[in-house]
Amino acid sequence: MSTVTSTSASSRRIGEQIRYWLPAVVVFGLGIAAWQWLLPDVLGVEEFLLPRFSDVVQALVDERDKLLRGAWITFKEAFGGFVLGSGAAIVAALVLARWRPFGNALMPYMIAANAIPIIAFAPITNAWFGLLSPWSKVTIAAVLCFFPVLVNTLRGLTSVDPESIELMRSYAAPEREVFRRVRIPSSLPYVFSALKVASVLAMIGAVVGDYFGGSLDALGIVVLSAVNLSQYSTSWAAILVASIMGIAFYGAIALVERYALSWHPSVGRRGQ
């Protein structure tokens, strides 16, 4: 008897899931249909704005070597920048959390620095490292990641509830122990949230950084040269590849987060 009820319960759950996701799937289908027929045929959207879906897919297949090579180069730039920028930011956050008066004084400046258009510095990093060097894009990606990760990690390290600190005080715990046992574990949700944002920023830094000039094979250059040659399908295919990479990078971090934060009450419900 229990097996009968459990299968009907689980099939009900599956039914619920389907009903929940159905609108999104429908929208996806409608979107593709619109892309393929509505926009070009009915609305007369020109090819240079948005080529037909099938054309983009065709370009994806035809140019896959170039696109894959470009994706790999761009990914290396993005990932390198991500690791450098986030790493430096976490270290800086630990330091500023240790000497909180500095952290407090500098916080507004870090938030302001986050508002600087870093990408505009791409020509300068090109002057530093050379147009074709990946390091100029890595630097842009790293700086883009640095401030958001710093601000959020610092917030995480210092958003500890005061009674937790009082408890540690009652144990006569030195600052080092307070960090290890309280501040760092409780900052992890903030850190992962910041890392997810940083992954997107690093990708933007790498791809758009290439718009200022870069190695001929990088994805950004593929987009630009395709646009210049009016090969719009190829340029959209490259954007698609960049988007998929972005989602995959973000998803990888979300996966690590799920594992690292398995203890967190909201891990099941996280929909970031």
In the complex, least distance from residue 33 CB atom to other proteins, rounded to whole angstroms: 14
- Six token digits for residue 148: 């958001």
- State which of residues 66, 69, 258, 264 lies at the interface with other proteins (CB under 8 A): 264
- State which of residues 18, 38, 43, 124 lies at the interface with other proteins (CB under 8 A): 124
CB 253 within 8 A of CB 244: no
Q: List binders of other proteins among 158-197 (CB under 8 A).
A: 158-167, 169-173, 177, 181-182, 185-186, 188
Quick check: 259 binds other proteins (CB under 8 A)? no
Q: List binders of other proteins among 24-53 (CB under 8 A).
A: 24, 26-28, 31, 46, 48-50
Quick check: 115 binds other proteins (CB under 8 A)? yes
In the complex, least distance from residue 1 CB atom to other proteins, rounded to whole angstroms: 28
Quick check: 215 binds other proteins (CB under 8 A)? no
In whole angstroms, give the CA distance from residue 57 to residue 101: 55
CB 177 within 8 A of CB 168: yes
Nearer to other proteins, 65 or 166 (CB): 166
- State which of residues 109, 175, 252, 255 lies at the interface with other proteins (CB under 8 A): 109
CB 205 within 8 A of CB 85: no
Exposed/middle/buried for residue 170 (C-beta within 10 Å: 0-12, 13-18, 19+):
exposed
Q: List binders of other proteins among 195-214 (CB under 8 A).
A: 199-200, 203-204, 207-208, 211-212
Minimal CA–CA distance to 97: which of 14, 5, 13, 180? 180
Minimal CA–CA distance to 254: which of 195, 177, 206, 182? 195
Quick check: 65 binds other proteins (CB under 8 A)? no
Minimal CA–CA distance to 49: which of 241, 221, 235, 212? 235
Number of residues interacting with other proteins: please give it, by CB under 8 A: 83
In whole angstroms, give the CA distance from residue 133 to residue 213: 10
In the complex, least distance from residue 3 CB atom to other proteins, rounded to whole angstroms: 28
Quick check: 227 binds other proteins (CB under 8 A)? yes
